[in-house]
Structure 1
Amino acid sequence: MDRHRNQEATVSDDRLTAQRLDTLLGVLSAESRRMVVAYLREHGTASVDELTDVVVGWSQARGNSAGGDAWEQTRTVLYHNHLPALAAADLVAYDTDAETVEIAPLSSATTELLSTVQELESALTGTED
């Protein structure tokens, strides 16, 4: 079983280090990753296919044009790029064999940062994902 598992050591620590902040801001620089995190924070767990539906749907709702093969392209990029990056940043647990993703246990500082990012995103896009 190939499982990218969260090992966030600071779950009980409310402080963010500069390195952790850089990691989080870097991984959240991709809109698709922010969509995945927002969805998982609300739903807890999802399949890769479900997350693909979410990212494609939210992208279209935001006016991003999508070609005929947008779903397959999005799924491929999620599977090989975005989900491993989120797992490496200890935001999700990603099981590549089962093709499932779940939100990881997060420190309160990380949760607060994610909430702020989500609020800013909603204000910019005029949506509440």
Structure 2
Amino acid sequence: MVGVLQCVVLDCPEPRVLAAFYQSVLGGEVDRPDRRWGLDDEWSTLHTDSIVLGFQRVAEYVAPQWPDPRRPQQFHLDVGVEDLGVAKTEVLRSGATLLDDSHEVWWVFADPAGHPFCLVRE
């Protein structure tokens, strides 16, 4: 083992906005003080029970376009949920955009910065 995962970092145009969006989806605490990094307009975090997400400002951010390989998603988050319909309503209310709800057990959304993520029925 080389190290321990500290956090998963997503590029975006507005770090605190995206941190607040994922807080509405996953719970947790936005911008909890942490000795590993500072917090400012360029960097925001979300500490959940299972992971820390980091959000870093990119001045000329270009959102992925799922499923267009010319602007790939690079990675995405799967969020386990009990009820896809209830979860869909909540993420849309929080600012997500529906990309694909044609599958029986998972639906694809984009966060406010355009990153695809899936709601997956547990």
TM-score (norm 1): 0.24
Q: Which has the higher contact order (CA 8 A, sep 6+)?
A: 1
Structure that is richer in strand per residue? 2
TM-score (norm 2): 0.25
Structure that is richer in helix per residue? 1
